[in-house]
Chain A
Amino acid sequence: MTRAWPVIAAMFLALGGLSTVAGYEMAPPRAAQWREIAWPFPRDGWPAGRAFRCGAAECGAEVEIYLRPKLGFCNCDSGVADDDEVDRVSDVDMISPRFAARKAGDVVDVADMHGRIRAYDLGMPKEKRIAIGIALSHRCDLMAVVAQGNGDAAQVQRATLALLGSEEITKWMTAAMEGSR
């Protein structure tokens, strides 16, 4: 009998562990924990913006998001007209010059700005990654957003839009879009 106790204890521990794993896998990801990181790209024609990272545990996949205003870079009347414009302006090329759209994009509204969102496969040398490009217009100005991750596109897109919809980022984008006309 005394010999059976360690076996029983081990079984309980194992079952407990398994149920913990199962419970973790079934539960929705914890509230996203975005950490702001340094702008990871070299200087180009536009000033650096803000960059954030969210781990797999919180966002369901490792996701990084980069966003910055491009003042005066949008057609004042037509706004973000088509998917070609998302390809051109959303900064996907900062991550990799080789990318291919997965399908046609969609319209999107963020922080009272209207634009388009599109998913891409990135041509990364070592791993397959996806990117979400977003171009939003406000009068003659543009907010360029690009996210990259190793999850599926829907997962990365959900995480991206959740961050953009947060109060802090919405306020920042609104303030950053103070351009001229």
Chain B
Amino acid sequence: MGGRVTAVCCTFVLVLLANGASAQQKIGDPPEASNMRLVGTSDLQARSPYQPTIHHQGDKWIAYIGHHGGTDDIPDPVNPMTGKPEPNGTSIVDVTDPAHPKYLRHIPGQEGKYESGGAQMVRICDGKDLPKGDRNAVYMLRAVGTEGHEIWNVADPANPVLVTRIGEGLKDTHKNFWECSTGIAYLVSGAPDWRTRRMTQIYDLSDPAHPVKIRDFGLPGQQPGATGAVPTELHGPISTGPQGNRVYFGYGTDKGGFLQIVDRDKLLNGPKEPTPDNLQFPEIARMPLSAMNGAHTVFPMPGMPIAEFAHDKDGKTRDIVMIVDEAIQNECGEARQMVWFADVTTEARPMLISSYTVPEASGAFCARGGRFGSHSSNESMAPVYYKKLAFIAFFNAGVRALDIRDPYHPKEVGYFIPSITAATDKRCVTIDGRDRCKVAIQTNNVETDERGYIYAVDRADTGLHILELTGEARAIAGLP
């Protein structure tokens, strides 16, 4: 009897070990995929990327990709095009033929490692769309760490020209937003005299060569001279422009986050002195998340028809905001960071209605190494996917495709976990005073273009993965 019990126990332990071992990615393993297919890749010079933005300019499709700083091992990777080490900045890649992306240019960013360097965020506006822009120009706005923000003319993406710099000596910068039709830019900055690392500096960049400051904005308690508790720092806003008249701000990263809904007109035209009353004035509502979750991306989807409510006399369409938390700890060293859907139809009383996470057991993701959990979503509002499918960067679980047509019941319809390569950087945890490191894919950000291609980038230096949908997921988008 004892022998049988021992045998059963040993078998159980072996199965567990085998599962753990099989979860670990190895160089040469194929990607893991469902309803998604790899089309092309770029190594991005083994630089750790943040948000990509894909822009259609002329007959070209260009990917602009911000980067974090370098690593302990390689602070300034060598740019093969110049032969020189350069601090991570912005990669510009021609993705017109997504099967054969062509790396055009690297613009160096700020010296510094990981989140302390690089030029993480990038937004693009055509000069012809901006009220006072040069019609022949294509403007790239990028955040350059504590050095502030820069605007480049990338009409010739292989030969960008610096137009102007905005701000300097900031505590930090991050996930900006730029309205191309008005030029209003919401720059995530850390003004030196504010009590927070990240707040909003609003500029009129309708003439990118001549930035005009409108105001500083943040939460009461963050402003200069305040005392007492300091509210959670900003991660990033998304504006619906003058038509929607709303700006959605996501605060927090993986803790104490919330969604703030702001009246854009009051924000831009209301009293600007950063007093508690003036900062409160444009706020319509603030919806807290659990103290264990933050809000990296808040993606608005107003006026969604809900099939289930089609025969209801009221509330057939709902205003939805998708909220994506950011996981920051390796190997599940924190509460799960995931995706939440909020119904903000009654704006003063927003309510969480559903959530989504990758099932951990589906890939033993806590044991794979690196971060597991969500980070960000695509932010393109192009019709091909808007209000139909959302793509979520989920670190070691790759990119996940969600059917969001019924946001009360989001459903995963596809995923792609890229293979690791020799460039993929390790991720470590400390156990008994020693580093224990593993190598795993760390899909950090994702974006889509109007053609339906999906661009996933890997924080652990593996590069850019250009994907397309197949099967059921492709049918949802109506793609041929």
Contacts and interface: CB of A to CB of B under 8 A. Distances in A.
B329 A179 contact: yes
Interface string B244-273: 000000000011100000000000000000
Contacts of A99: 227-229
Given A45-B292, A179-B333, A180-B329, A88 B230 contact: yes
A25 interface: no
A181 B428 contact: yes
Contacts of B171: 81
A71 B292 contact: no
B286 to A, nearest CB: 16
A179 B430 contact: yes
Contacts of B329: 71-72, 179-180
Task: Give the residue among A71, A85, A101, A180 with the most B Cβ atoms within 10 A.
Answer: A180
Which secondary structure dominates where chain A touches chain B?
Answer: loop
B115 A87 contact: no
A107 to B, nearest CB: 18
Interface in B178-208: 194-197
A43 interface: yes
Contacts of A93: 228-230
A84 B221 CA distance: 11
B334 interface: yes
B113 interface: yes
A88 B292 CA distance: 17
Contacts of B433: 174, 178
Contacts of A60: none
A44 interface: yes
A77 interface: yes
Given A72-B328, A180-B329, A123 B334 contact: no
A174 to B, nearest CB: 8
A28 interface: no
Interface string A80-99: 01001101100011001111
Interface SS of chain B: loop
A73 B115 CA distance: 12
Q: What 9 pairs across the A-B complex have the smallest Cβ distances? A: A180-B330, A45-B255, A93-B229, A45-B291, A77-B116, A178-B430, A100-B227, A97-B229, A180-B429
B431 interface: yes
Interface in A129-181: 174, 178-181
B103 interface: no
B427 interface: yes
Contacts of A97: 228-229
Given A100-B228, A179-B329, A181-B428, 17 more contacts: A45-B291, A72-B254, A76-B115, A76-B116, A77-B113, A77-B114, A77-B116, A78-B116, A92-B229, A98-B227, A99-B228, A100-B227, A174-B433, A178-B429, A178-B432, A180-B333, A181-B330
Most chain B CB within 10 A, of A77, A92, A96, is at: A77
A106 to B, nearest CB: 18
Interface in B215-239: 227-230, 233
A46 interface: yes
25 contacts: A44-B291, A45-B255, A71-B334, A72-B329, A72-B333, A72-B334, A76-B114, A77-B114, A78-B116, A84-B195, A84-B230, A87-B230, A88-B230, A93-B228, A93-B229, A98-B228, A99-B229, A100-B227, A100-B228, A178-B433, A179-B333, A179-B430, A180-B330, A180-B429, A181-B428
Interface size range of chain A in the complex: 20 to 34
B112 interface: yes
B161 to A, nearest CB: 31
Contacts, number: 79
B113 A43 contact: no
B379 interface: no
A181 B333 CA distance: 11
B76 to A, nearest CB: 14
B331 interface: yes
Nearest to B117: A77
A78 B197 CA distance: 12
Interface in A109-125: 123
Contacts of A71: 329, 333-334
A33 interface: no
Nearest to B224: A84
A88 B196 contact: yes
A75 interface: yes
Contact of A180 (B233, B255, B331): B331
A85 B190 CA distance: 12
A76 B433 CA distance: 18
Nearest to B327: A72
Contacts of A174: 433
A97 B194 CA distance: 18
Nearest to B426: A181
Interface string B424-444: 000111111100000000000
Nearest to A97: B229
A100 to B, nearest CB: 4
Nearest to A92: B229
Contacts of B195: 84, 87-88
A93 B227 CA distance: 11
A178 B194 CA distance: 31
Contacts of A101: 227
